[in-house]
Structure 1
Amino acid sequence: MKWCYKISATVLTICCLLVTGCNSKEPEVASSVPVEATELGQTITVINPDSTSNNAVRTQPVSNGEKYQIQTRLTDFQLLSDTTGLAWGTTSGELRLYLTKDNGETWTNISPATAVQFPSNPEYGKEIFFKDSMNGWIVRNSIGASEAMILRTRDGGGTWKLSSLRDSDEVAAMYFNDIEHGWILTVDNKAIDNQGKTLYLSEDGGATWSSIMSNQALPTTKKVDQVLPKSANFVSMIFTDQKNGYISTMKSGLPALYVTEDGGMDWKENTSFFNPAKYQTCKQFTVGETTPFVNDRSTGWIPIGCSRDDGTKFNGYFTEDAGQSWQLVPFKLSWQTDLNEYSEPTFLNSKEGWTIQGDVVYRTIDQGNNWTPLPESPRLKKTLQDYPEVVKLRFISSNVGWLLVAKTDQKRSLLLQTQNGGVSWRVL
């Protein structure tokens, strides 16, 4: 049975006014802004920062608004094109969401109203997902007895509309295949290997949501093998079109992949995906995000980490037939034992990928069979000395990539960009 949840037009109108991130009042101007970016974290130039905090200094006005220098801590990002991307973090429970369309030279604050509080830092693919620079969604998980809040924009964050999800469980993943069709998976996280899961579908851009799959009441009249099992602990979810989707999990300590061919109502395990017999020396496994390649949605990859006493090393599983079969590619990389032991490589397509080991960027053009160290980047080397944790590395093209690094105390971060394939880097 499907359950559809709506909010009345009147309530939506009120909520839209509440969460619209527009405010005609100019923020107070602070007396000064620290200039030591290395010590104080990210400093970005924001245009029209209507709902930003007051640690901003106005610079020279520009034609389309005022410029402000904002000192902030970023916790995640999403690349949209060579020049366009999003970055965000939270300050005192308030989401700070910024959009750049000029390689980070300037940023626009597109945050929802500060009245919408976030108990933790939102993650891409979980609480934040943008299809392009205009269409995006934000989930604020339920707090106490409140419902999960879903905000959506069609104008690049100029206005935000609100809907809700009557589920007190935690939102674990959100994915939109286009601007109308999206999925949200919630989990109860009450016990390891006993995880209740419910999948919701929206066909109107996130305005309403219907439950299409749940394992909460197993066993039921629905066959147990047609839903996601409680014994599989969720990791990631993607849909390549309106019918075909993939969910990666950890089941009894081993990576497991579940697929759907009917839009998420029925799921089955791809039993040929992972063979533990190929990993005789591994004591523990980790599985990364399932990532479809942008230029060919029938191709994609999943990173698998193998840990033993002397460290962790990642290998890759690649598909070229929309997940029907997967090929294991053992990566010729060193075992890692440092702070970034579980930092996985990133791939742009089925051949080209990057990873960072120590302070060196490695690149492959043959699906990870061979990795070439790129020339040393003095900027990257110095930055990693001060910000040793690699939070996230992603490339949107063969030339352009972003790297988010952080201090070990989690209080400072820096976002860097490369425009030559990882050879040199600059702070955005």
Structure 2
Amino acid sequence: MKRFFIALLVLTIFLSGCGSKTSDVIKNNNAKQTYDFQYIKMTTQYIGWALGENKIYITSDKGKTWIDVSPANKNNIFSWYFLNENYSWVLYSDGTLYKTRNKGKSWVGSKAPFTMGKLFFLQKKDGLSGWMLKEYGPASGDSPVDVYKLIDSKWTLISKGKMPNNSLKDDNSISFEGEKTSFIFLPDAKTGIITVEYRIPGKYGLYLSSDSGYTWNKKDIPLLSKFKDDSILFYSPNFFDCEKETIVILPVCIYDIKHNDYQIIFMNSSDDGSTWKEVSSFSIKEKPIEINLVDKNNWIILTNNSLFITNNNDKTWNKVKPPKNTVQIQFIDSKNGWALVKSQLDTHLYYSNNGGSSWKKLF
């Protein structure tokens, strides 16, 4: 009988211990998730990518929960490109470029001839097209660059940029002068656009390529010539297929130094950037943090304290209040949008399903 009670006591302690471990696991699974994101990219209403603390995350529930799907690399992430819900690329400081085609379930890495710059990819019926604007690092506001193209699964140098103290004159290459702020190609995979900013009033740079990035020519925009005393800032252009043509929209911010205000000019081109026309303009007192071009009609301007939203190609603008300390805004249509909020203490993500009229905190 004594042995029976001892055995029963041991069994009770064992089961009690098992119960505690199960409880701990459940408690940990239900723990509140926190993230330190730097950038998000929602590709659908439910699926999106995020970058934070040199890790790559993915969500499939509108941003409520995120899963770490990072490649097995502990170095710093220097560049990335989230194409859609399946394809993404991540470039690390050791020059390893990783690619996933299955939402981050597996990654394939290979050494690349660059460690920093701007990646860009297009998915076409005949496969993927990829480019890299290789950067050498900024120096006094200038940034030398080269252009690489993905050819037969290998990165090939197709355009060597001009370097400081280079006496060779090549009108078909990109100057080292100025900061390269955006780098895109249109769906034809031939037309490329690079925007450049300078620290000199009235100066700007727009480079165009018509041969997939092999040669580049600087383009003047006559309607910007009247701003010779103002700072000209480019925001990222975007393209939209409209019936039989591709429309490129390029937001330009004009800072009036004398009056300390900003004029946002939306320009568009339907001939691959050869000519540009002003489609609308908008004046504000704060410098935009970001301009989000959702489609040809839905545009969002984020400032420190406000969101300015138009759903009809700038015919009317609505001013709404974003969550405090919003650093990035992204809408995928006129209703569904996300706001990334960062402060010195923490990071949060908010979601709106009514065009920014109200916001729900996700984490």
Query: TM-score interval w.r.t. the shorter chain?
Result: 0.7 to 0.9
Letter in 2 for 1:57: N
Q: Is the 8 A contact 2:138 2:179 kept in 1?
A: no
Match of 1:5 in 2: none
Q: Which has the larger radius of gyration?
A: 2
Q: Is the 8 A contact 1:298 1:323 kept in 2?
A: no
Separation of aligned partners in 2, 1:317 and 1:102: 35
Q: Is the 8 A contact 2:289 2:304 kept in 1?
A: no
Separation of aligned partners in 1, 2:304 and 2:148: 41
Letter in 1 for 2:75: Q
The alignment status of 1:424 with 2:358, answered yes or no, reads yes
Separation of aligned partners in 1, 2:84 and 2:333: 16
Q: CA RMSD in A?
A: 3.0
Match of 1:199 in 2: 147
Listed as ranges, the matches of 1:340-355 within 5 Å are 341-355=287-301
Report the CA distance shift for 1:413/1:255 in structure 2 as closer, same or farther (over 3 A). farther
Separation of aligned partners in 2, 1:232 and 1:404: 29
Separation of aligned partners in 1, 2:307 and 2:206: 30
The alignment status of 1:269 with 2:209, answered yes or no, reads no
Separation of aligned partners in 2, 1:294 and 1:85: 23
Report the CA distance shift for 1:274/1:211 in structure 2 as closer, same or farther (over 3 A). farther
Report the CA distance shift for 1:230/1:360 in structure 2 as closer, same or farther (over 3 A). closer
5+ residue gaps, structure 2, are 1-20
Match of 1:97 in 2: 56
Separation of aligned partners in 2, 1:235 and 1:184: 14
Separation of aligned partners in 1, 2:228 and 2:182: 26
Listed as ranges, the matches of 1:369-384 within 5 Å are 369-374=315-320, 380=322, 383-384=323-324
Letter in 1 for 2:205: A
Q: Deviations over 1:53-89 (max 9, x none)?
A: xxx9213xxxxxxxx6432111101121122211220
Separation of aligned partners in 1, 2:329 and 2:42: 10
Letter in 1 for 2:341: V
Match of 1:243 in 2: 190
Q: Is the 8 A contact 2:33 2:65 kept in 1?
A: no
Separation of aligned partners in 1, 2:140 and 2:210: 27
Report the CA distance between 1:193 and its aligned residue.
Answer: 6.3
Separation of aligned partners in 2, 1:256 and 1:273: 13
Separation of aligned partners in 1, 2:216 and 2:43: 30
SS in 1 for 2:58: strand
Report the CA distance shift for 1:165/1:356 in structure 2 as closer, same or farther (over 3 A). closer
Report the CA distance between 1:360 and its aligned residue.
Answer: 4.2
Letter in 2 for 1:404: L
Letter in 1 for 2:117: A
Separation of aligned partners in 2, 1:391 and 1:78: 13
The alignment status of 1:174 with 2:133, answered yes or no, reads no
**RCO higher in 1 or 2 (8 Å CA, sep ≥ 6)?**
1
The alignment status of 1:317 with 2:267, answered yes or no, reads yes
SS in 1 for 2:171: helix
Separation of aligned partners in 2, 1:295 and 1:134: 25
Listed as ranges, the matches of 1:401-412 within 5 Å are 401-407=337-343, 409=344, 411-412=345-346
Letter in 1 for 2:337: G
Separation of aligned partners in 1, 2:199 and 2:284: 27
Report the CA distance shift for 1:137/1:285 in structure 2 as closer, same or farther (over 3 A). same
Q: Deviations over 1:24-81 (max 9, x none)?
A: xxxx99x89xxxxxxxxxxxxxxxxxxxxxxx9213xxxxxxxx64321111011211
Report the CA distance between 1:295 and its aligned residue.
Answer: 6.4
Listed as ranges, the matches of 1:156-171 within 5 Å are 156-167=103-114, 171=116
Separation of aligned partners in 2, 1:263 and 1:214: 14
Match of 1:214 in 2: 160
Q: May I ask how many residue pairs the two structures share in their alignment?
A: 331
Letter in 2 for 1:117: N
SS in 1 for 2:215: coil
Report the CA distance between 1:259 and its aligned residue.
Answer: 0.8
The alignment status of 1:73 with 2:7, answered yes or no, reads no
Listed as ranges, the matches of 1:245-324 within 5 Å are 245-251=192-198, 253=200, 254-272=203-221, 275-277=224-226, 279=227, 282=230, 284-293=231-240, 298-307=246-255, 308=257, 310-324=260-274
Q: Pick the aligned partner of 1:228 from 158, 174, 178.
A: 174
Match of 1:50 in 2: none
The alignment status of 1:400 with 2:349, answered yes or no, reads no
Report the CA distance between 1:166 and its aligned residue.
Answer: 2.9
Q: Is the 8 A contact 1:300 1:349 kept in 2?
A: no
SS in 1 for 2:354: coil
SS in 2 for 1:83: coil
Match of 1:116 in 2: 74
Q: Is the 8 A contact 2:289 2:303 kept in 1?
A: no
Q: Is the 8 A contact 1:242 1:263 kept in 2?
A: yes
Report the CA distance shift for 1:358/1:201 in structure 2 as closer, same or farther (over 3 A). closer
Match of 2:46 in 1: 83
Q: Is the 8 A contact 2:148 2:156 kept in 1?
A: yes
Letter in 2 for 1:396: I
5+ residue gaps, structure 1, are 1-27, 33-55, 60-67, 143-147
Q: Deviations over 1:368-393 (max 9, x none)?
A: 3531235x6xxx5xx41xxx2x3111
SS in 1 for 2:97: strand
Q: Is the 8 A contact 2:162 2:173 kept in 1?
A: no
Report the CA distance shift for 1:165/1:314 in structure 2 as closer, same or farther (over 3 A). same
Report the CA distance between 1:211 and its aligned residue.
Answer: 0.6
Separation of aligned partners in 2, 1:293 and 1:200: 25
Separation of aligned partners in 1, 2:275 and 2:312: 19
Separation of aligned partners in 2, 1:130 and 1:344: 18
Report the CA distance shift for 1:416/1:300 in structure 2 as closer, same or farther (over 3 A). farther
Match of 2:6 in 1: none
Report the CA distance shift for 1:273/1:419 in structure 2 as closer, same or farther (over 3 A). farther
